[in-house]
């Protein structure tokens, strides 16, 4: 018997300990918010090559390994990366499985001494960032790297949880052995900005460098901020994305306490089942997903490999509840509308959505209802969930899903949403159920939402001169 999943939009769950606050008086009417988000004129895409933002590299650490093509091939095959947790003894937990990375190796990317000290969150970040720069033709020490204006090259990789293993170990040492046994690396390796900082030290990028932490919306917030640095002329190139490594006892226990997780221990491969009537919560995942974002002008000057184009994005907040989604879907629908306006795209141009779709009872349908407010004719849109195969990678989810979205553009194939057994009738989109489909993507959006009511949407398309 499976526990019922709480109401959630992504990770948003309303445990009893989180009472809803009373609405404050004189709040801005919802109709005004809708009006402000509406597009007032025909959309126009950016044409200035200094402000157009293109993707020139991708890197990741995932449950399917560290190679982008292998990652997407396994997604297309409908393979699940979910299985029993063996990193620690999870036998006493009501959830005992996750999308856990096994056999991770950073050989050739992080020196052995540092590799042993670093939290996995930072290891995933550094490896993914360096692999992304490799694919962009900018490996440290290469001629192309040497020609960069490093003052205009930045790094913006966020994390929802930060160095949780280092933090947990430090607290345990304090309690059991006293403060003298706390590692001097406890604070530096626990804070969320250190992945970006250490990656910059390795590759010499001296431009904008920080992290954003907006729970499971983190990666998209980073993409949006990175693109805006480039558009404002503050940077030529930024490595952006998210990283997370929370599959440890305190991480698992915390989400169990929130009653957010599936408890399908008898069949973990089918536990993550977005939009299925029998879904019972999300499955924890981990990893990192990173893009090299670059102005078109800069990319063309160095003859870079242009993979796809970032057209725009948006972020906003439900301003409603710590963990519970708005019942009217206004935050999400207005965020989608604002992202399309920023991208210069009309709703009818979008034909693929990589959904947040975490496999929670209320969250999956809340997102679909919001999508329907923006896209009036869903018949031409493919919508799928990467999380059905790799679990919910929290702050890294948007990074890995952006890579999946871009690979759908470059390959002409969209991966399946697996574990579609009893679909919700309200979901009348094509969810690419259980089998990949060939699909020429015109414009794609990728959604990510998180605790606190944080909403984020990014827009990608094939690059056209």
- The catalytic residue positions are 216
Torsion (CA) 186, 94, 354, 127 in degrees, nearest 10 = 30
- pLDDT score for 154: 98
Q: Which long-range contacts (CB under 8 A, 24 or more apart) does 13-16 make?
A: 13/258, 13/259, 13/260, 13/323, 13/324, 13/360, 14/321, 14/323, 14/324, 15/257, 15/258, 15/259, 15/323
Does the pLDDT of residue 69 top 90, yes or no?
yes
d(CA 68, CA 411): 12
Residue 144 to residues 39, 58, 147, 150, 394: CA-CA distances in angstroms? 41, 17, 5, 12, 34
Q: What stretches of 125-214 adopt beta strand conformation (E)? A: 153-158
| Range of lowest pLDDT (22-26, 78-82, 210-214) | 22-26
Listed residue (250, 239, 169) closest to 204, CA to CA: 239
51-66: pLDDT as tens digits? 999 999 999 999 999 9
> Rounded distance, CA 293 to CA 238, Å?
5
The position carrying tokens 């640095």 is: 229
Query: What pLDDT does residue 460 have?
Result: 98
Q: Would you call 76 helix, strand, or coil by DSSP?
A: helix
Q: How far is CA 319 from the centre of its chain?
A: 21
**CB of 139 within 8 A of CB of 145?**
yes
26: pLDDT strictly greater than 70: no
| 3-state SS class at 320 | coil
Position 324 scores a pLDDT of 78
Tens-place pLDDT, residues 205-225: 999 999 999 999 999 999 999
For residue 118, the model assigns a pLDDT of: 96
| 38-47, 80-89, 284-293: the lowest-pLDDT one | 38-47
Selection from 189, 323, 190 nearest residue 255 by Cα: 323
Q: What CA dihedral angle connects 102, 108, 110 and 115, to 10 degrees?
A: 50
For residue range 233-278, what is the model confidence (pLDDT) as tens digits? 999 999 999 999 999 999 999 999 999 999 999 999 999 999 999 9
Q: Which helix H or strand E contains 445, and what residues bound it? A: strand 443-450
Q: Residue 283 pLDDT more than 80?
A: yes
Q: What percent of the chain has pLDDT over 70?
A: 91
Least confident of 29-43, 174-188, 282-296: 29-43
Task: Write out the two tokens for 285.
Answer: 């995942």
Q: In whole angstroms, give the CA distance from residue 300 to residue 319.
A: 41
Is residue 13 very low, low, confident or very high in pLDDT (cuts 50, 70, 90)? very low
Q: What is the pLDDT of residues 134-151, one digit of tens each?
A: 999 999 999 999 999 999
- Does the structure show a pLDDT above 80 at 39? no
Q: What share of the chain is helix, strand, coil (3-state, %, to 5)?
A: 35, 20, 45
pLDDT of 322 reads: 86
If pLDDT is split at 50, 70 and 90, which confidence band does 323 have? Answer: confident
16 Rama sector, left if φ>0, alpha if ψ -120 to 50, beta otherwise: alpha
**What is the Cα 193 distance to its own chain's centre?**
17
465 contacts 296 by C-beta, under 8 angstroms:
no
Nearest alpha-carbon partner for 308 in 323, 283, 291: 291
Q: Encoding tokens for residue 178? A: 């006293």
In Å, how far are 163, 339, 407, 446 from 383, measured between CA atoms? 33, 17, 15, 10
Task: Check whether 329 has a pLDDT greater than 70.
Answer: yes
Task: Report the pLDDT value the prediction gives residue 304, as an integer from 0 to 100.
Answer: 97
Contacts of 232 (CB under 8 A, 6+ apart): none
In order of their start, the domains of the chain are 54-462 (3.40.47.10)
Per-residue pLDDT tens digits for 343-402: 999 999 999 999 999 999 888 999 999 999 999 888 889 999 999 999 999 999 999 999
- Name the least confident of 39-48, 110-119, 299-308: 39-48
Q: Return the percentage of the chain with pLDDT > 90, whole number.
A: 86
Q: Global pTM?
A: 0.91
More confident residue, 237 or 23: 237
Please, what sign has the CA dihedral across residues 40, 45, 47, 50? positive
């Amino acid at each position: 018997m499976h526990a019922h999943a709480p109401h959630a939009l992504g990770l948003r769950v309303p445990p009893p300990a989180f009472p809803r606050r009373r609405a404050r008086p004189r709040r801005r009417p919802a109709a005004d918010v809708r009006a402000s988000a509406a597009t007032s004129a025909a959309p126009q895409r950016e044409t200035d090559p200094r402000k157009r933002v293109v993707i020139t590299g991708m890197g990741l650490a995932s449950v399917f390994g560290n190679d982008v093509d292998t990652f997407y091939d396994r997604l297309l095959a409908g393979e699940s990366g979910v299985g029993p947790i063996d990193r620690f003894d999870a036998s006493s937990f009501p959830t005992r499985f996750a999308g856990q990375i096994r056999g991770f190796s950073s050989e050739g990317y992080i020196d052995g001494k540092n590799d042993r000290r670093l939290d996995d969150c930072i290891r995933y970040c550094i490896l993914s960032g360096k692999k992304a720069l490799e694919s962009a033709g900018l490996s440290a020490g290469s001629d192309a790297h040497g020609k960069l204006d490093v003052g205009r090259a930045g790094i913006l990789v966020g994390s929802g949880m930060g160095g949780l293993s280092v933090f947990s170990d430090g607290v345990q040492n304090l309690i059991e052995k006293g403060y003298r046994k706390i590692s001097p690396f406890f604070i530096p390796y626990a804070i969320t900005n250190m992945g970006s900082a250490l990656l910059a030290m390795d590759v010499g990028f001296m431009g904008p460098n920080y992290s954003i932490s907006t729970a499971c919306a983190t990666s998209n917030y980073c993409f949006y901020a990175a693109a805006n640095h480039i558009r404002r002329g503050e940077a030529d190139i930024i490595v952006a994305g998210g990283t997370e490594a929370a599959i440890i006892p305190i991480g698992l226990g915390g989400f169990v306490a929130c009653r957010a997780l599936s408890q399908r221990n008898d069949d973990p491969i089918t536990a993550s089942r977005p939009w299925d009537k029998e879904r019972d919560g999300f499955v924890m995942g981990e990893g990192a997903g990173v893009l090299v974002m670059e102005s078109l002008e800069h990319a063309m000057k160095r003859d870079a490999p242009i993979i796809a184009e970032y057209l725009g994005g948006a972020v906003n907040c439900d301003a409603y509840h710590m963990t519970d989604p708005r019942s009217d879907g206004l935050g999400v629908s207005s965020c989608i509308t604002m992202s399309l306006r920023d991208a210069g795209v009309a709703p009818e141009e979008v034909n693929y959505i990589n959904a947040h779709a975490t496999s929670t009872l209320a969250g999956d349908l809340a997102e679909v209802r919001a999508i329907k407010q923006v896209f009036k004719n869903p018949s031409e849109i493919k919508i799928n969930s990467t999380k059905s195969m790799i679990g919910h990678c929290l702050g890294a989810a948007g990074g890995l899903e952006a890579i999946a979205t871009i690979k759908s553009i470059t390959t002409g194939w969209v991966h399946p949403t697996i574990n579609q057994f009893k679909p919700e009738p309200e979901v009348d989109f094509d969810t690419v159920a259980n089998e990949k489909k060939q699909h020429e993507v015109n414009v794609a959006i990728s959604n990510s939402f998180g605790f606190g009511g944080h909403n984020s949407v990014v827009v990608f398309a094939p690059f056209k001169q």
